[in-house]
Amino acid sequence: MQSVPKTHLSPELLLTAYSQGIFPMTDPDGVTRWYSTDPRGVLPLDQFHCPRTLRQIVRQQRFEIRINTAFESVMRFCKDVPRGDTRSSWISEELIRVYTDLHRLGYAHSVEAWQKGQLAGGLYGVALGGAFFGESMFHRVSNASKVCLVHLVQRLRDRGYVLLDTQMVTEHMTQFGATLIPACDYLQQLHQALQKECRFV
């Protein structure tokens, strides 16, 4: 993973960075820096694997799925997710501010799982062209974030998206088919995805 020094964050700068395969993270020292990974994590939409038990949960409709009704809340819950043996989160107040601005402009989106009127889980990311850049997910009720991922993938497929960027691949994501590809291949896929005109909502 490579980083470059921080500059003042703005929605416009974020979109430019994403279009070049770069994303921001706030480091433990409190400084937000730009990153690019090689290899890059992606979840091929045509190879998405939904485990049988999860398919059953989706069919049972245990959660009400909403889109973009609590974007900032989703980010804040993601911020509070424990990150291994450190208490720091790569999501800072600065990032919450700029992604919320991006959300208001129609580029950042949340997929939310609600249960009994409470936000049970969710995920958020950035949509640009035919690419969706997944940022983070959380759950307060078991399987809520996984159900959101299933709905995200279906939405992206239905609307003609061709790239789901996961940045990195965790053990959690490998069960769904996430994989690592060379950065040069990723940038080629990204370039092709950005030529498309897709609408998330």
pLDDT at 6 over 60: no
Nearest in space to 22 (alpha carbons), one of 128, 143, 162:
128
Confirm whether 65 is domain-assigned: yes
pLDDT in tens, 21-30: 999 999 999 8
Q: Indicate the pTM of the whole model.
A: 0.94
CATH number at 38 reads 3.40.630.70
Residue 100 CB neighbours (<10 A): 15
Mean pLDDT value across residues 175-183: 97
> What's the chain's average pLDDT?
94
Cβ distance 23 to 136 under 8 Å?
Answer: no
Confirm whether 199 is domain-assigned: no
User: Residues with Cβ < 8 Å from 34, sequence gap 6 or more?
Assistant: 3, 4, 5, 6, 17, 22, 23, 24
- pLDDT reported for residue 8: 78
pLDDT at 83 over 70: no
Confirm whether 9 is domain-assigned: yes
State the total domains in the chain: 1
Confirm whether 13 is domain-assigned: yes
Confirm whether 200 is domain-assigned: no
What range defines the domain where residue 156 resides? 2-194
